[in-house]
Amino acid sequence: MKKLVNIYLYTRYERFWHWLQSLLIILLLISGFEIYDQYSFFGFEKAVNLHNILGLSWLVAFAFFVFWVFTTGEWRQYVPTTKKMFQVIRYYSYGIFKGESHPVPKRKEAKHNPLQRITYLSLAAFLLPLQMLTGFLYWGYNSWQAWKLDSLSLVFIAVIHVIGAFAILIFLIVHIYMTTTGHSVFSHIKAMITGWEEIEESEKVEEWEKKPFYKQS
C-alpha cells in the first residue's frame, strides 16, 4: 500500500468560493423549482424574492471569481487536454472498483484531471454564464423595452433557464458522488474544508500536467 502525504492544494479563497457557490446554487434550485409550483416550502412570493436576491448575489460573486482566476493564473488549471482522457474515463467506470491508482494524481500544478478540466471549463465558461444571463433577463423583463430587447421571447428565456437548472442539478448530484471516490469517503470533502489533500507519495506528475498548452513565466 502506497504511503499517503498531505499537500496544501486549495487556498482559502478557493474553499470560500466553492462553499459559497454550493450554498447559492442549492438555494437557487430549491426556490426556483418552488416558483414553478413543484412544491411549497418558502411560499411563492418569498421564493421569488429569495431567488432574485440569490441570483444577483451569485452574479456578483461569480464576477469576483473570474477576476481571481485571471489575476492569480489559476485559469491554467482549466486548460483542456485530451491526454490520458480515456485512462481517466476507464478508471472511473472500471478501475476505481478494482482498487487501481488514479491515472492522473492531483498536484498543485494540476489540481484537475482531463475529465474535470473539460467539465469545469464547460460549467464556468458556458453553462453558469448562460444560466445567469437568462436569469437576469427574466428578472429584468419589465425593462426589455428600454433595453431594446423586445424581440426576445420570454417563454424561450424561461425554457432555457429551466433546462440549465436541471443540467446544474445533474452536475451537483454527480459532483457529490465524485467527492466519495477519494482515499476515503470524506477525504475530498475534508480537503475542501481544510485545504490539505492526501495523495500517494510515489505518484509523479508528468510534464504535460505541469504545463498544459501554455508557458509559465
The pLDDT tens digits of the residues spanning 25-44 come to: 999 999 999 998 888 999 99
Q: Which three cell numbers stand for residue 27?
A: 438555494
pLDDT at 212: 45
pLDDT at 112: 93
Please name which of 117, 113, 79, 119 lies closest in space to residue 96, comparing C-alpha atoms.
113
> What residues does each domain of the chain span?
4-184+199-204
C-beta separation of 29 from 165 below 8 A: yes
- Whole-model pTM: value is 0.88
List phi, psi (to 5°) of 144. -60, -40
Tell me, rounded to whole angstroms, the distance of Cα 89 from its chain centroid: 19
The class that CATH gives domain 4-184+199-204 is mainly alpha
How far apart are alpha carbons 53 and 128 in whole angstroms?
17
Secondary structure E strands in the chain: 4-8, 196-200
Place 201 in a pLDDT band, splitting at 50, 70 and 90: low
Q: How confident is the model at residue 153 (pLDDT cuts 50, 70, 90)?
A: very high
Position 89 scores a pLDDT of 94
> What is the structure's pLDDT at 142?
93
Q: In the prediction, which pLDDT does 71 show?
A: 96
Mean pLDDT value of segment 163-183: 95
The predicted pLDDT at position 207 comes to 52
Q: Which cell numbers in the block locate residue 32?
A: 426556483
